[in-house]
């Protein structure tokens, strides 16, 4: 008896999505659909604005990674105006980026994905959350709440406004760092670093070993990877060259302003959300056994493409990780492990930058003059490579905007991982709340930010994996007009 299972809403992710799983007559998974519900209109309404205002408008694409959009926009502005920030201005931007990463990675691991591991994927839903962690282990809960908040407080000291910041400006940074503030920040950064060391040790000893099978298998697929590296091939989250790695581990680098030669966004007639893929790899396919053109971004990808990490503790963790899991790592749930290595890197980097005498320099910004130009800004956002591409007229008013955000790169992989997980876990029509939660764990590993991914339009979006049925016929494509459930149930009928 064919049946439709709906997980709505997908919870403990940033933004809106549903999962629809259609079972065939035998109760096995016929197809799966991740419906991303929510889109906005930034690429349209940024046009016509003075370009220097964009760093404070695009932040609202995402309140979780506003610094990533803020910095990508500021870098696009630098390119538009044809300037390079003074060294101190650049270091202040990098410092804010590192601090923001610590805050976001703590948020994801402990508040969003972590409860599945700390409380267990089969714990009752009412306690499988950060509030449950607070009840079960108040000391751990308090420590986590404090560590995440430290990052936010540091950003408040550095810039005034920690969420939707305003201080990265064309040509640099508007607020130099006073020595007295540097001293306060240094002790806070040390506390964050202590927490980062604790977090990765805790996860490696008390969390990951308990879920070895899930981590190896759940949502695991084979793809290429994209991320940013510095000139020497080390991990860099603020600036560098893009490195594209094939599933076999071979890689090539390219300048980020050439992204449009490499990446194409595919449109399916059944989905409003685009599917970026690599032009040179062939015709786009999300078939989980024979994917074509598919690559992933975010922590797993960055640690795969980087040759090394510039800070000692994170480098040691990377070496152990590579020794255990190889390169490239394809296990989807390893995103969480990679995330904690990045947490450690960013905490170390923040301490280093605050020890750099140049961080309190007074020359943080060069003045700029409007002109007609195109400017591409690119950073690694917590969720992947973030590209802002602007054009202006001769008065510096924006005439065109193109944005590709971290989570969008991962659209196809997320769908493929959900499909893989559903097929592994559901057979003969048997499933329960724990199984459905495990399917969501495959989504959570990507730390998807659907607020970011849905910057471009607004509506109810069908993001779909198309699977060929067992008899070889294509299952009809779903449409989510009107109430999704009614439509899905209709489509799920035996034919």
Partner 1 sequence: MAVRVAEEWLTICGGCEVSILDIGEPLIDVLALLEFVHMPVLMDHKYYGQTGEGTVLEIPEADVGMISGGVRNEKEKHVTEAMRAQCETLIALGSCACFGGIPAMANMYSLDDLYSKVYRESPTTEPAEVPSGTVPSLLDRVYAIDEVVPVDLYIPGCPMNPGMIAEALTSLIDETPFELAERSVCDECPVKRERKSGEPIERPLQDAQFDLDGPLENMRCLMEQGILCLGPVTRAGCARTREAGAPKVPRCIQGYMPCRGCFGPIRMDANPLVDMMGALSSNGLDVRQVLDRRATFNRYIGARNRLRPLPSRPAR
Q: By C-beta, is 173 or 321 nearer to partner 1?
A: 173
69 closest CA partner among 382, 371, 338: 382
Number of H helices and number of E strands within the chain?
17, 15
Please, what is the minimum distance in Å from the beta carbon of residue 226 to partner 1?
Answer: 14
Binding to partner 1 (CB under 8 A): which residues in 206-235?
none
Please, what is the minimum distance in Å from the beta carbon of residue 471 to partner 1?
Answer: 24
Give the binding range for partner 1 (CB under 8 A) out of 123-131, 205-213, 286-294, 337-345: 123-131
Please, what is the minimum distance in Å from the beta carbon of residue 84 to partner 1?
Answer: 16
Q: What is the distance of C-alpha 146 from the center of its chain?
A: 23
Binding to partner 1 (CB under 8 A): which residues in 303-362?
362
65 closest CA partner among 18, 15, 20: 15
Contact 58, 42 (CB under 8 A): yes
Binding to partner 1 (CB under 8 A): which residues in 273-302?
274, 276
Instruction: Give the count of residues interacting with partner 1 (CB under 8 A).
Output: 115
Residue of 191, 222, 265, 287 that binds partner 1 (CB under 8 A): 265
Q: By C-beta, is 281 or 321 nearer to partner 1?
A: 281
Q: By C-beta, is 77 or 311 nearer to partner 1?
A: 77
CA atoms of 205 and 211, how far apart (whole Å): 11
How many Å from the N-terminal Cα to the C-terminal Cα in the chain?
A: 11
15 near partner 1, judged by CB under 8 A: yes
Contact 425, 116 (CB under 8 A): no
Please, what is the minimum distance in Å from the beta carbon of residue 324 to partner 1?
Answer: 31
188 near partner 1, judged by CB under 8 A: no
Binding to partner 1 (CB under 8 A): which residues in 86-115?
107, 111-112
CA atoms of 437 and 125, how far apart (whole Å): 9
Site track 245-264 with partner 1 (rule: CB under 8 A), x = hit: --------------xx--xx
Q: Which residues pair with 381 in a beta bridge?
A: 384
Residue position matching structure tokens 């149930």 = 489
Contact 4, 23 (CB under 8 A): yes
CA distance to 5, 216, 426, 439, per residue, from 220 (Å): 22, 7, 16, 12
| Backbone φ, ψ for residue 462 (5° rounding) | -100, 110
Please, what is the minimum distance in Å from the beta carbon of residue 294 to partner 1?
Answer: 16
Q: By C-beta, is 9 or 27 nearer to partner 1?
A: 9
Q: What count of Cα atoms within 13 Å lies in the side-chain half-sphere of residue 35?
A: 26
Contact 309, 250 (CB under 8 A): no
9 near partner 1, judged by CB under 8 A: yes
Residue of 2, 27, 28, 40 that binds partner 1 (CB under 8 A): 40
Question: Exposed, middle or buried, 487 (CB in 10 Å: 0-12/13-18/19+)?
Answer: middle
Site track 20-39 with partner 1 (rule: CB under 8 A), x = hit: -----------------xxx
Please, what is the minimum distance in Å from the beta carbon of residue 107 to partner 1?
Answer: 7
5 near partner 1, judged by CB under 8 A: yes
Is cis: bond before 18, omega within 30 of 0?
Answer: no
- Tokens (6 digits) for 185: 């920040």
Please, what is the minimum distance in Å from the beta carbon of residue 89 to partner 1?
Answer: 11
Binding to partner 1 (CB under 8 A): which residues in 389-418?
389, 396-397, 400, 402, 404
Contact 296, 223 (CB under 8 A): yes
Binding to partner 1 (CB under 8 A): which residues in 423-452?
431-433, 436-437, 449, 451
Binding to partner 1 (CB under 8 A): which residues in 365-384?
365, 367-370
Please, what is the minimum distance in Å from the beta carbon of residue 460 to partner 1?
Answer: 4
Residue position matching structure tokens 């980026």 = 97
Binding to partner 1 (CB under 8 A): which residues in 126-185?
126, 128-131, 134, 138, 141-142, 145-146, 148-149, 152-153, 156-157, 159-167, 169-171, 174-176, 178, 184
DSSP run (H or E) holding 441: helix 433-445
Residue of 232, 255, 481, 490 that binds partner 1 (CB under 8 A): 481
Return the HEC string of 265-284: EECCCCCCCCEEEEHHHCCC
Please, what is the minimum distance in Å from the beta carbon of residue 489 to partner 1?
Answer: 10
């Amino acid at each position: 008896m064919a049946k439709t299972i709906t997980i709505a809403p997908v919870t403990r992710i940033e933004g809106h999505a549903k999962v629809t799983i259609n079972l065939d007559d035998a109760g096995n998974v016929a197809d799966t659909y991740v419906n991303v519900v929510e889109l906005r209109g930034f690429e349209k309404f940024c046009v016509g604005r003075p370009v220097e205002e964009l760093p404070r408008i695009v932040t609202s694409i995402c309140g979780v990674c506003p610094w990533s959009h803020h910095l990508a926009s500021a870098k696009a502005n630098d390119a538009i105006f044809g300037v390079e920030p003074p060294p101190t201005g650049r270091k202040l931007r990098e410092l804010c980026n590192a601090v923001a990463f610590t805050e976001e990675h703590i948020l994801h691991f402990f508040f969003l994905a972590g409860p599945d591991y700390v409380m267990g994927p089969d714990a009752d839903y009412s306690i499988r959350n950060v509030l449950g962690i607070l009840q079960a282990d108040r000391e751990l809960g308090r420590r986590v709440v404090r560590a995440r908040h430290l990052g936010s407080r540091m950003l408040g000291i550095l810039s005034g406004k920690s969420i939707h910041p305003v201080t990265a400006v064309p040509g640099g940074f508007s607020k130099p760092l006073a020595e007295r503030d540097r001293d306060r920040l240094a002790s806070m950064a040390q506390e964050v670093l202590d927490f980062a060391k604790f977090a990765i040790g805790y996860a490696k000893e008390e969390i990951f070993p308990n879920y070895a099978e899930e981590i190896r298998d759940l949502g695991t697929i084979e793809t290429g990877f994209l991320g940013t590296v510095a000139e020497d091939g080390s991990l860099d989250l603020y600036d560098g060259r893009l490195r594209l790695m094939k599933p076999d581990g071979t890689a090539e680098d390219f300048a980020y302003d050439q992204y449009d030669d490499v990446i194409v966004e595919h449109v399916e007639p059944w989905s409003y959300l685009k599917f970026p893929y690599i032009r040179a790899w062939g015709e786009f396919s999300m078939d989980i056994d024979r994917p074509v053109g598919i690559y992933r971004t975010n922590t797993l990808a960055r640690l795969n493409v980087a040759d090394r990490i510039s800070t000692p503790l994170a480098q040691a963790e990377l070496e152990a990780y590579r020794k255990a899991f190889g390169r490239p790592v394809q296990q989807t749930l390893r995103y969480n492990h990679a995330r904690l290595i990045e947490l450690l890197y960013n905490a170390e980097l923040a301490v280093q930058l605050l020890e750099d005498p140049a961080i309190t320099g007074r020359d943080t910004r060069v003045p700029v003059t409007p002109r007609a130009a195109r400017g591409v800004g690119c950073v690694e956002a917590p969720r992947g490579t973030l590209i802002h591409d602007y054009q202006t007229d001769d008065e510096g008013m924006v005439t065109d905007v193109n944005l590709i955000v971290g989570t969008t790169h991962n659209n196809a992989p997320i769908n493929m991982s959900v499909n893989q997980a559903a097929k592994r876990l559901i057979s003969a029509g048997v499933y329960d709340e724990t199984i459905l939660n495990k399917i969501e764990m495959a989504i959570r590993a990507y730390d998807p930010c659907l607020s970011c991914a849905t910057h471009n339009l607004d509506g109810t979006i069908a993001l779909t994996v198309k699977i060929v049925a067992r008899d070889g016929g294509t299952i009809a494509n779903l449409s989510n007009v009107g109430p999704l459930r009614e439509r899905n149930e209709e489509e799920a009928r035996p034919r």
